Structure 1
Amino acid sequence: MSEASTAKGRATQARIVGGAAEVLREQGVAFTTLDDILDRTRTSKSQLFHYFPGGKDELLLAVARFEAERVLEDQQPHLDCLDSWESWYRWRDAVVERYELQHDQCPLGSLFLQVGRTEPGARAIVAELMRQWQERIAEGIRTLRARELIPASVDVDRNAAALLAGIQGGVSIMMSTGSSAHLKAALDSGIDQLRHAAAGAGRAEVN
């Protein structure tokens, strides 16, 4: 009975978070009230505070975690299959498409503005998202290296960090200007750098 109640509780909590995320995406954090979320999720106020005793701030953190997970999910299956140059460009297109669909809105960024990036919970969510994202890019670079598509001398972690930094910079500019040109350039430059390393190794072997 206890296990069933726990499973039911997790399902209810997930329903509230998912519904809240939909409302926040549609209306924006600044224009969304608890009543809007209650209406969308068909939840009573007492039930919401049962699962989120900290109220709106705690719920916003849960939604931020949900949105952070979506950042990685929206890049699948490409992010976990970076085993050829073609797959890298498919991933590149998926990243660009994701942010172009958002236009100048970033649900995750808006949520962190609301709860405050200096809050320990918010910082932990950002840190974990970036850690996972960089590690998956790094794993793709290791796969290229294992398949001898790039030389063993390529610094995996440095290139993964540079690619992620380029993406974040491109997204920031896109949020300000509405143009994805910088995001595309950052991704293309990062992938080109890896390909140039491979070409350079090939020329060295010939010589």
Structure 2
Amino acid sequence: MTEPDREPFLYVVVCAAGSAAGVGELIGAARRRGWAVGVIATPTAAHDGFLDLAAVEALTGRPVRARSRRPGEPRPFPAPDAVLVAPATFNTLNKWAAGIADTLALGTLCEAYGLGVPIGVLPCVGDALAAHPAYRESLARLRAMGVRFGEPAGTGDFPWEGALDLVARPAQARSQPTAGPTSIPPVNTS
């Protein structure tokens, strides 16, 4: 449950897709619904022009994160009450389902399952990639983990505000994990 003296905190994981430039719409909608927001971007999304980092930082009041903390650095975000992945790419979804945590974004997603927080995803995957059997298997595995999916979208008219409907209201966040090991401590990627 969210601490009474702070706003519920939403992690938004942004992947390198053309629609990523519109993530400000999601941030604005989340703020209107009472969420504080922190953005974690894949390295390509953060450094190859998919996001206007200064604009996103102005909207959230926090730095966009694309790398893990160095030893001794303070945690820039509180623990999440929910996580949204939007847009979610073929690469990120397949790596996440396989448990690969080779970036901060993927490590955060792998850890979120163990935290038991609601996780929502808006895929942005073309038809040719979506036809790949590994992708279908990855979606099945993530759904079995309790991940909630919105309708796949292209780069136009991305359903940003609808993504918020995939995660529990702030008062309902912080449930216990429904599956998975609880005796193994999670890797601290934040």
Structure richer in strand, relative to its length: 2
Query: TM-score, normalised to structure 2's length?
Result: 0.28
Which of the pair has the greater relative contact order for Cα pairs under 8 Å at 6+ separation?
2
Larger of the two Rg values belongs to structure: 1
**Alignment TM-score, normalising by the size of structure 1:** 0.26
**Structure 1 or 2: more helix by fraction:** 1
